[in-house]
Every structure is written in structure tokens, then in C-alpha cells.
Amino acid sequence: MYDDIAEETGIEKRTLEEYKYVSDKIKPSLRNENLGFHHHKAVGSIPPEKQKEILRQASENKWTVRETREAVKAI
């Protein structure tokens, strides 16, 4: 599936897989428009209520992706 889409769109297969991961793990209502894709990917492994809190803190404190990952690891 990803191979066909990658060929048609020119987007790398790995990137498509990452998009799918984030879309499966982060509900649209929890996403933060002030943060980038990799911030959202960083919180994909934690429960939704914690995702919301970490994303809020990341936005308010202007965390880097690395700082966001560190916050996730600290949970």
C-alpha cells in the first residue's frame, strides 16, 4: 500500500508510515496547531490525557521536539 502511494505522490514510504502513526495515535481534538508534526509523533506512545497535557506544555513553553520527548520519557 505505502509503496504505491509513495510512487504516486513522491512522498517517501517512511514519511507516509509516520503520518499514519500520528493519525492513528493522536486524536484530531488533541492536536495543537502551534506545534509541528514531530512534537505530535513524540507523544504518540502515551495515553490521550497525557498527550493533551504534554502538547499544551510544549506549546506554552515553546519546547523543542527533544524537550517534548524528554517530558514523555519522564512520565
pTM over 0.85: no
Residue 46 contacts by C-beta under 8 Å, 6 or more apart in sequence?
54, 72, 75
Residue 49 contacts by C-beta under 8 Å, 6 or more apart in sequence?
none
pLDDT-above-90 percentage for the chain: 87
User: What per-residue confidence (pLDDT) applies to 5?
Assistant: 86
Q: How far apart are the first and last CA of the chain?
A: 35
Residue 1 has pLDDT above 90, yes or no: no
pLDDT band at 72 (very low <50, low <70, confident <90, very high): very high
pLDDT band at 57 (very low <50, low <70, confident <90, very high): very high
Give the type of residue at 52.
Answer: K
CA gap 8, 2 in Å, rounded: 10
3-class DSSP assignment, residue 44: coil
3-class DSSP assignment, residue 13: helix
User: What per-residue confidence (pLDDT) applies to 60?
Assistant: 98
